[in-house]
Amino acid sequence: MLIDLDRVPKEGVRLSRDFEFLGLDLVEENAVFLEPAHADVTVRLIGDEILVQGEVTARLSFVCSRCLTPFEFPVASRFDLVYLPEDIDALSEELSDEKIDQMFYAGRQLDLRTVVLEQLNLTFPAKPLCAPDCEGLCAVCGELIRDAKCSCQVKEPDSNWNKIIFPVRDKS
C-alpha cells in the first residue's frame, strides 16, 4: 500500500487495515500465518521527515527449534519511526553511529506494506521455542523428552574432572 506524501494532510493520515503476507516474506522459514496481520498506523509529515507510528498484530504458527512441535506465536508490537529524504544522505559517504538507526525514503511515496512487514519480522525470536524450558528431542531415540516415553540411558559426563583442584596463591 503506497502512501502519496503530497496528499497527506497536516494532521496526518490514520489507517487501520489487514495485510496479507506470504510465508516467504518472513525471516522465519517455518512460520505460517493463522490470520492476516493487522496494522493501525498514523503517518504525518513534519517538514521533509515522515513520522510513522502504529501497532502491528498477528497470529502465526512457528515450529519449536528444540522439539519441532508447532506452536502459536501472537504478535503485538508498537513502533515509532522517522524517515528522512534519501537526498540528505547522498552528501555523506560513510556510515556513522548516529546514522545507523536512520531510515530513508525516495520519491514522494512511502510503501506502508514494507514498513509493516519489517516491523513484523523484527518481533520474531532468533530461536523460536514452544516454552522456555522445552527439553527438545532425545538424542538417542528422537522421542519428545517432555512426553516421558523415552527410556534411553544417557551417560553422564565423567565427574572425575570435577575433582581436580587447582592451587591458587594469595598475592597479599
Residue 97: half-sphere exposure toward Cβ, Cα within 13 Å: 0
pLDDT digits (tens, 9 = 90+) for 131-151: 998 888 888 888 888 777 777
Residues in the chain: 172
More confident of the two residues 154 and 37 = 37
- Mean pLDDT (whole number) for 107-129: 87
Question: Using only C-alpha atoms, what is the Rg of the chain?
Answer: 25
- C-beta of residue 54 within 8 angstroms of C-beta of residue 120: no
Q: Give residue for cell 521455542.
A: 129
What pLDDT does 73 receive? 92
pLDDT digits (tens, 9 = 90+) for 46-99: 888 888 899 999 999 999 999 999 999 999 999 988 888 776 555 555 555 555
Q: Give residue limits of the domains in the chain.
A: 2-136
Q: What average pLDDT does the chain have?
A: 80
- Of 12-21, 22-31, 106-115, 142-151, the range with the highest mean pLDDT is 12-21
Residue (of 128, 43, 49, 44) closest to 83 by Cα position: 49
Torsion angle (degrees, nearest 10) of CA 12, 17, 21, 25: 20
Question: What span, in angstroms and rounded, lies between the C-alpha atoms of 53 and 31?
Answer: 25
Q: pTM surpassing 0.75?
A: no
* Beta-strand runs (E) in the chain: 2-4, 13-19, 32-46, 49-63, 70-85, 103-105, 109-111
